[in-house]
A and B are shown apart, each in its own frame.
Chain A
Amino acid sequence: MNEPAATAATDVRPNLDATNRLHVGHDHDLLLLHEMLRIRRFEEKCAELYSAGKIRGFLHLYIGEEAVAVGAMQALGRDDAVVATYREHGHALARGIPADRLMAEMYGKHEGCSRGRGGSMHVFDAHTRFYGGNAIVGGGLPIAVGLALADKMQQKPRVTACFFGDGAVAEGEFHESLNLAALWKLPVLFLCENNLYAMGTRLERAQSQTDLAAKARSYLMPAEPVDGMDVLAVEAAARRAAAAVRRGEGPAFLEFRTYRFRAHSMFDAELYRDKSEVEVWKQRDPIATFISHLKEREETADAILGALNGSVADEIDVAVQFAEAGTWEPVDDLLKDVYSPRPGSDGAA
C-alpha cells in the first residue's frame, strides 16, 4: 500500500541530511515538528520578503495552522492527490514541494513550481500531484470530486485530499460536492480548516449551523471535529479517515478547529477581531506546545531543537538564494501554454 507522504517527500526534498540524522531514535514526532517549523520559518521569511517588495500580490499566511497540513499529509501516499486553497504554502511544503521551488514561485520566477505564473495563491506541482492553489473559495472541491471519480473509474486505490476553509462551507459548491462524492462513494478526504473567520466574517455571522461536521454528516458521510492545534490528533484522525476512504467506503470529512495568528492577507487591518482573542489562541500554538511536550520527556530536547532550527534556517536561506538567483520568464513566452502545443503552434492564444 501507500507509504506516508513524509517518507515519500524525502525523495524530492533536498537538504535532508540533518533531518535524516534526527530521525534516528527520535521517530516520527520530530519529523512532524521539523515540518511545522519549516512552514513557520518559510512564511515568516515570506512576510519579511513581502515588506521588502520581493513578493507581491496577495500573500495569505498559514501561521498558527501548521499542525493541520503537517498532520493530515501523513495520511497520504505518493500516488494520492492534494487540492488546496489560496492559503497553501504549508500544504505545498508538507506535501514535498521543495522549498526552493516554492520560494521561487513566491517571487514569480521561472524556476518556481508553477513556472512563476501563479504566485502565492496558485501553487501547482505535477510530481507530487498537487492540483493548486485555488483562489476561488470552494472552487477546488468539485475538482477534488472529479479527481476521485477518475481514480474510482480507473480502479486506482488512491485518495484525493481536499483542503478548504470554513468560508467555503457557505458556498453552494461545498454542498454539491459533498453530496456528489457521497452519492457516488468517491474517495475524497474533505479536510475543513475551520479558523473561525472567512476573511473578516466570523463563523457565527455566516452560518446558521456552526457545527460543520453536522453538515457533512447530513450527506451520510463519517465526519468528526478534531483539535487542529494538536498535530498528533490531526494525524491520527486523518489516518483513520484516509484508511476508510482508501478501503472504498466513500468520502470522509474532518473539521480541524484551528486559528490563524496573522492577518488574513498583508492588507488586512484586523478590525474584526480582538487582539486578546489572538493571544488566547497563541497559547495553543501547535509548535510551542509540541516543543514543551518534547522538553518534558526528552533531556536532550534543546540540542535536538537547535539542530532542527539550524537545518530549517539553512533550508530557507538556500530557498531564498535560489529564488533570488532565479530568472524571469521571457516576455516572448507570455502566451505560451494558454493552449497545449499542437502542430504549427506553440500553444499561444
Chain B
Amino acid sequence: MAKMATTTYREALRTALKEALVKDPRVFLMGEDVGQYGGSYAVSKGLLAEFGPERIRDTPLSESTFVGAGIGAALGGMRPIVELMTVNFSLLALDQIVNNAATIRHMSGGQFNIPLVIRMATGAGRQLAAQHAHSLEGWYAHIPGIRIVAPATLEDARGMLWTALEDPDPVLIFEHQTLYNMEGPLADDAGPVDIDHAAIRRSGKDLSLITYGGTLGKTLQAAETLAREGIDAEVIDLRSLRPLDMPAILESVKKTHRVVIVDEGWKSGSLSAEIIARIVESAFYDLDAPMARICSAEVPIPYPKHLEDAALPQPAAIVAAAREVVGRRG
C-alpha cells in the first residue's frame, strides 16, 4: 500500500510540473510571473531555482504572443506548458487558441500536430470581481481541435498534466481558483491519470448530480445534505469537458432517471445546456422528471461577498433543485 501524505492542490500541481520537467527535456513552462514571482497562484514557486531560466520562462504581458509561441515551439519539437493567469486573460490569446491551435492539424491535412498544454485559473469565489472570476471553460469546450480538462481533486491536479503533455494535441487545463488551497491526503506514489473519462465521486440511485472543477465540493456537500433526507444522489465529476464522456453520463441517467447539472458557467449557450441536449437526444425516455440546472446568475461576477455568493451555485440551491427533481418539497 502506498503511503498517504497531506498535500494541497497547489502542491500537487507543482509536483506534476516538476515530474514533467525532470522526465522530459522538451518540457518547459512559460507565462507571466511563473519564474521569479513564483506564479500568480504560487504553483511554480521554486521551479526557477531548480530548473533555471531556460525552462522556467517569465514572459512579457503579451498573452497572444506567448500562447502563439507555445504553438510554434510545439510545432518545433518542444513540449511547452503555457500558464495564463486567469481565463479572463486568456481572451487576449483567443485568436491563437481558436484560429491556430485548434485548426492547424485539420487544416494542414494532418501534417502538423500541436502537443501544447495551456494551464489557467478559472472561476470565482475570492471577491476578485468581473475581470478575474468568470468560468469560460464551456466556451472553449465549444471548439473542435482542442481538449478541455478540469481537475477537481488532488489526484487529478497531480495526474492530469503528464497525460496532457503526452497527448499529441492541444490540451487546456482549467484550475478553479478556490481549489489551490484545498488540502487532503494524496498517495505518495500518485502519478498520471487518464483524461478521457468522467468519474463517479459518490455513487447513488435517486438522481445524478453532474458537475466538474470548482463546484464538485459544493455538489458533494449538497449530496450529503440530501442523504440525511433520504435522497441518495450520485455525483459525477466530468473531468473532461471536451470530449464529454457521454457513456458515463448516460449510464448514470439510466440508473437514476433524474438529473441536476451544476456548472459555474452561465446557462445561456452553455456546457450545461449541451449536456441537457445530449441527454434529451440519447436518453429522453429514461427520464422521470425535467432536468434542472444550477449555474451562475447571468451577471458579470460582482465584487462584494454577499453578491458574489448570490451569483454563484451554492449547496442550498443544489439541494433545493434536487428535491424538486425527485418530487419532494422541502
Contact = CB atoms under 8 A, between A and B. Distances in A.
A347 to B, nearest CB: 8
Contacts of A342: 168
A172 B243 CA distance: 32
Contacts of A172: 62, 64
A299 B73 CA distance: 51
Contacts of A173: 64-65, 68, 95
Nearest to A123: B108
Given A117-B109, A124-B107, A143-B100, A176 B65 contact: yes
Given A139-B99, A146-B71, A338-B145, A176 B76 contact: no
Given A125-B111, A136-B99, A139-B99, A338 B105 contact: yes
Interface residues of B, number: 42
Contacts of B73: 146-147, 149-150, 153
A176 B60 contact: yes
Contact of A337 (B72, B99, B106): B106
A111 to B, nearest CB: 10
Interface string B65-92: 1111111111111101000000000000
Interface string A234-273: 0000000000000000000000000000000000000000
Interface in A85-120: 112-118
Given A141-B65, A141-B68, A150 B78 contact: yes
Contact of A122 (B69, B78, B107): B107
Interface of A: 81, 112-118, 122, 124-126, 131-132, 134, 136, 139, 141-151, 153-154, 160, 172-173, 176-177, 179-180, 183, 336-340, 342, 347, 349
Q: Is the interface of A mostly helix, strand, loop or mixed?
A: mixed
B72 A180 contact: no
B71 A132 contact: no
A139 B77 CA distance: 20
19 contacts: A118-B109, A124-B107, A142-B64, A142-B66, A143-B71, A143-B72, A143-B100, A146-B75, A147-B72, A149-B72, A150-B74, A150-B76, A150-B78, A151-B76, A177-B68, A179-B62, A180-B66, A338-B105, A339-B105
B113 interface: yes
B68 A139 contact: yes
B104 interface: yes
A177 B65 contact: yes
A126 B99 CA distance: 19
Given A117-B109, A143-B71, A154 B78 contact: yes
Given A150-B73, A153-B78, A114 B104 contact: no
Contacts of B80: 146
A148 B68 CA distance: 12
Nearest to B145: A338
B282 interface: no
B144 interface: yes
Nearest 9 Cβ contacts at the A-B interface: A146-B72, A142-B68, A150-B76, A115-B109, A176-B62, A176-B65, A124-B108, A146-B69, A340-B168
Given A141-B65, A147-B75, A176-B62, A118 B108 contact: yes
A154 B75 CA distance: 13
Please indicate which of the listed interface residues B64, B76, B95, B105 has the most CB atoms of chain A within 10 Å of its own CB. B76
